[in-house]
Structure 1
Amino acid sequence: MIKNDIGLNAGTIWHLLSINEELSIRQIGEMTSYDGVMITLALGWLAREGKIRFSNKNDVLFVGLNHSATDMYY
Structure 2
Amino acid sequence: MATATNRQRIEAEYTAAHIRALTLLEDLHQHLEDTPAPSDDGPVIGWDHVGSLKHLCEQLQALKKRFTQPDAS
**TM-score above 0.5:** no
Scaled by the length of structure 2, the TM-score of the pair is 0.33
* Greater helix proportion: 2
| Higher Rg | 2
* Greater strand proportion: 1
Scaled by the length of structure 1, the TM-score of the pair is 0.33
